[in-house]
Structure 1
Amino acid sequence: MTATVAAPETRDSSVARRVPIIRGYRFELVKLLTQWRVRVLIVACWLAPALFVAVISQQASLPVDTLFGRWMHATGWAGPLVLLGFSGSWALPLLTSLIAGDVFASEDRLGTWRHLLVAVRSPRRIFISKALSSLTVILVLVIGLVVSSTISGLLVVGNRQMIGLDGHLLSPGSAAGTVFLAWLCALAPTLALAAIGLLGSVALGRSPMGLLLPAVVALAMQIVQQLPVPVAFRLALPGYAFISWNGLFTSPAQLGPLLIGVIVSLVWALVATGLAYFIFVRRDFTNPSHDGSGRLALTAGLVPLVVLLGVTTAAVAPVTGFGSGIDQDKVQRAVAVEFAHLYRLQTKQLNRADVTEEQLQSAAECTKGGDQVAARGPGNDWRCVVSWHIPGVEAAGSAIYQLDINPLGRYVSDGDGPKEVNGFFLVRTPSGDEPNPLWQFDGNIELLPAN
């Protein structure tokens, strides 16, 4: 009797293993980093902000129409915030367009989908690898913007205290933490725009509109934000967190609009990414001339986002209401509080006896357009009369301000007398001669209903 030994089972060599996601991610990341356009963007994001902040901080004329622009001579922490305002409007939408908006469309232009599918053997892994690699590059670009502008501001101007949007002073440590938190919150709408870029790149193929979709969406949202739309619709847009970080610089912080903006942006990011994945895994890659999904791009791309906008508007409406969010009581309260804080700052700069906010008992009476229109909503026709008391003086002091309030709740107060209180004159400070803090100042009105 002879014994037989069974041969061990062997795998069929004709069956190829799928490429792990980590290897696909590294491959896609290398592909992005080898593109000259991406390399130029990385160098620009790590160097251009430093040059921008250094040049602006040394100029005699400051960008006072930009939030925190008037304080770029006073503190190095104003530079990163000025750049954040610019980046939220222009730089970040453009960066997401060039990275996320092109990560899938580039394969259509080069005609390399069949080769990539043969190598990876999984549309799902291809999608995840491309999405993660584009997100990594976008994060590198954003970190460059933050680090570059911050280092430049601190080296050129210095690590000094900063004036908040209600006039209270932030210590250098508090300013640092708040600035970095503002940039962290801005990542949420950046992710939303990146997800919209992925969706456009998948659905529109080699069409230039897919590349431009995040920038076009961001521009459309900017236009809407400047219109007198209901506050519920305003907060339901995925880019509102580019604006609501302003509330971090008041005391107490206006966290309601910021949290709503961040949550809405993250929901948009998840939904848009899911729609891009849904369209991508159902695409026909056997036809080289077919670089989009036709009707599927409309039914599974555009329509769900419109429905999402309606759902988010309805979801936040019970919290925000449907008005403008700007009324007489809010304006009077904001102006009175900020005046009290800045009055104390002016008192200290002029070496006068210190007073507290409780002693000042500041109050404001504000009207809009005289008595002809209701005192609510944005406009440049607001007028406030601020009154206060100084201990030991029977007569109350008063000062007049002209206010320009935009639909986002940001206002600029311009002193209209008396000159010795809120007129233009220079005050000696540790950082040099600066304009009277009560002359012109920026503020922020929370659009949510007052508690």
Structure 2
Amino acid sequence: MIATFADVPVAGTRPVPVVRCCRFELVKLLSQWRVRLLVLASWVAPALFVAGVGQQSSLPVDTLFGRWMNATGWAGPLVVLGFAGTYALPLVTSLVAGDVFASEDRLGTWRHLLVAVRSPRRIFVAKVLASLVVLLVIVAGLAVSSAVGGLVAVGDRELVGLDGHLLAPTDAAGNVLLAWMCVLAPTFALASIGLLGSVAWGRSPMGLLLPIVVALVMQLVQLLPVPVAVRLALPSYAFIAWNGLFTIPAQLGPLLVGIAVSLMWTVVATALAYLLFVRRDFTNHAHDGSGRRAITVGLLPLVGLFAVTTAVVTPATGATGSGIEQDEVQSSVATAFAHLYRLQTHQLHRPDVTEAQLRATAACNKGGGQAAPRGAGDDWRCVVSWHLPDVEAVGTAIYQLDVTADGRFVADGDGPKEVNGYFQVRTPAGDAPNPLWQFDGNVELLPAS
């Protein structure tokens, strides 16, 4: 048997306390120029981006909440959150957690570190905690910076939710904070996968690339028309499920499932990384990892976890098919239209009406009635009908819908012009954006919770 440094007792000595190890690992991480650059960029770049876009007439309307960036400062943090979940956070976890162990292999410093600390277990805990602290600082920077940029440039105003209702500034602030806190779970899941890759592949760059590759594969799965149970069984869905916080009632089912799945992946991947690390032969200075061990101890357990999670989510949630059904689409469109119609009424200084008085309904089909009314696609068509007090005629408006596989949709007005056929409405104070021209919505993929 080959002895490791962990097997060699040192008389009269004790391992270094974990707090000192954490402080040392944190200093090492922050001394790297790329980590310093990430921290600086996370606290500066979002504010500049949100403030700049908020002053433009051309807005990122293809991004969730992007169409409201010049109307309220609380839309900016949500736009940044959508970008961060897709691109920024996978990159950050790779550069921080994906290299925290491999850097010692490249520098050949394991022997000195083990002699100084005298406990591989404490080294592992210290590196994990130091990575966690840096990630928390970066995520906090993204959230705070984007919020400050939006509030300074646009102001603390009401935010239009995904079902068309207005959130007061205090409610919007609370939901934005909660949304950013929810994405910590999938961020930690990717970080734990980075730790696993860093331990398994040693100085090989594969460990550094693993979180990005895994995140990319998960995002591709989310774009495919897969069953909703498969979608929920991946940590990446928690980067999307925060959308449900901005509806009334809140669509908490998918969000809670996504967070629970992400935490399970975090625990399993971290435990696998720990087992690989404490069993490693540190006397091999040319350690480049083991491809076979990385597959058997790293990849296969995660694949098994995905299969088990999918098998558990399906009966536990009652999720079947894509989760996008005709009734859910019609309900979401009608609800959003009723809320936004009231907003347009206020713009035009007309007598106020309530959602109950409007009695808005939607009749939607897919593919001109030639396709089954379920699933994602850009061929949904809805006719919205509503009633006004003391008016016998029923109002109607047409919308073309583009529904994505994750349940988000964009409704594009197709007439009449006075209601939703033009991007502006003429108000007593001048032309203003028409809230009924285009709007975003969200279909809950799980049965009503």
* TM category, shorter: over 0.9
Q: Give the counterpart of 2:282 among 277, 282, 285.
A: 285
Instruction: Please point out which of 139, 143, 155 is paired with 1:142.
Output: 139
How far the C-alpha of 1:321 sits from its partner, in A, is 2.5
The structure 2 residue matched to 1:302, chosen from 299, 302, 311, is: 299
Secondary structure of residue in 2 paired with 1:160: coil
Q: Aligned-pair distance for 1:450? A: 3.4
For 2:345, give the aligned amino acid. T
Equivalent residues of 1:247, 1:444 under 8 A apart: yes
Letter in 2 for 1:66: T
CA deviation map 1:332-369 (0-9, x unaligned): 11111111100111111100000111111111100000
1:364 to 362, 365, 371: 362
- What code does the residue aligned with 2:364 have? C
- Residue in structure 1 matched with residue 4 of structure 2 by the alignment: none
Instruction: After TM superposition, give the deviation of residue 430 of structure 1 in Å.
Output: 12
Secondary structure, in 3 states, of the residue corresponding to 1:219?
A: helix
2:384 corresponds to 1:390:
no
> Who is 1:341 aligned against?
339
Letter in 2 for 1:178: N
Residue from 161, 164, 169 that aligns with 1:167: 164
Shift of 1:293: 4.0
> What secondary structure does 1:76 align onto?
coil
- How does 1:34-433 map onto structure 2 within 5 Å? 34-318=31-315, 319-427=317-425, 433=431
The answer to whether the Cα contact below 8 Å between 1:320 and 1:447 also exists between their aligned partners in 2 is: no
User: Compared with structure 1, are the counterparts of its residues 320 and 205 closer, same or farther at alpha carbon in structure 2 (3 Å cutoff)?
Assistant: farther
Cα distance, 1:428 vs structure 2: 6.9
TM-score by length of 2: 0.96
State the secondary structure of the residue aligned to 2:418. Answer: helix
Residue 59 of structure 1 and its aligned partner are, at CA, apart by 1.4
Give the whole-Å Cα distance in 2 for the aligned partners of 1:206 and 1:416. Answer: 57
- Report the Cα distance in structure 2 between the residues aligned to 1:13 and 1:288, rounded to whole angstroms: 21
Identity %: 72
Asked if structure 1 preserves the Cα contact closer than 8 Å seen for 2:117 and 2:123, the reply is yes
Amino acid aligned to 2:127: K
**1:308 Cα shift?**
0.2
More deviation, 215-224/61-70 = 215-224
1:51-83, Cα deviation, whole Å (9 max, x unpaired): 111111111110000000000010000000000
Q: List runs of 5+ in structure 2 lacking aligned partners.
A: 1-8
Q: Identify the range of structure 1 (388-397 vs 286-295) with the bigger mean alpha-carbon deviation.
A: 286-295
Of 243-252 and 214-223, deviating more is 214-223
Cα pair 1:231 1:320 within 8 Å, conserved: no
CA distance change for structure 1 residues 270 and 361 in 2, over 3 Å: closer, same or farther?
same
**RMSD across aligned positions (CA):** 1.6
CA distance in 1, matches of 2:412, 2:119: 62
Contact 1:42 / 1:140 at 8 angstroms: preserved in 2?
yes
Shift of 1:15: 2.6
Confirm or deny: 8 A CA contact 1:279 1:293 kept in the other structure.
no
- Equivalent-residue separation in structure 2 for 1:323 and 1:330 (angstroms): 14
Q: 1:390 to 1:100 in 2, by over 3 A?
A: same
Amino acid at match of 1:189: P
Q: 1:128-151: CA deviations, max 9, x gaps?
A: 000000110110011110111000
Moved more, 289-298 or 88-97: 289-298
The letter of the residue matching 1:263 is: A
Distance 2:63 2:423 in 1: 22
Q: Partner amino acid for 1:216?
A: V
* Compared CA separation, residues 250 and 15, structure 1 to 2 (3 A): same
Deviation at 1:287, TM superposition (A): 1.0
- Residue type at the aligned position of 1:28: E
Query: Which deviates the most, 362-371 or 426-435?
Result: 426-435
Amino acid at match of 2:420: N
Greater shift after overlay, 424-433 or 41-50?
424-433
State the one-letter code of the partner of 1:400: I
Give the conservation status (yes or no) of the 8 Å contact 1:68–1:78: yes
Letter in 1 for 2:109: T
Q: 1:434 to 1:197 in 2, by over 3 A?
A: farther
Q: Matched residues in 2 for 1:255 and 1:359: separation?
A: 28
> Residue 74 of structure 1 contacts residue 431 of structure 1 at CA under 8 Å; is this kept in 2?
no
Q: Quote the Cα distance in structure 1 between the aligned partners of 2:123 and 2:321.
A: 46
Q: Partners in 1 of 2:254 and 2:308 — Cα distance?
A: 17
* C-alpha contact (below 8 Å) 2:319/2:445 kept by paired residues: no
Read off the aligned partner of 2:137 and give its amino acid letter. V
Helix, strand or coil at the partner of 1:354: coil
Any conservation in 1 of the 2:244–2:252 contact (CA below 8 Å)?
yes
The CA distance in 1 between the partners of 2:110 and 2:318, in whole Å, is 47
Secondary structure of the equivalent of 1:240? helix
Query: Shift in Å at residue 427 of structure 1?
Result: 4.0
Whether the aligned pair in 2 keeps the contact of 1:283 and 1:292 (CA below 8 Å) is no
Other-structure match for 2:3 = none
In 1, Cα distance between equivalents of 2:74 and 2:428: 16
1:88-127: CA deviations, max 9, x gaps?
0000000000000000000000011111111111110000
Q: What does 1:8-47 align with in structure 2 at a 5 Å threshold?
A: 14-47=11-44
Unaligned residue ranges in structure 1 (runs of 5+): 1-11
Q: Letter of the aligned partner of 2:135 in structure 1?
A: I
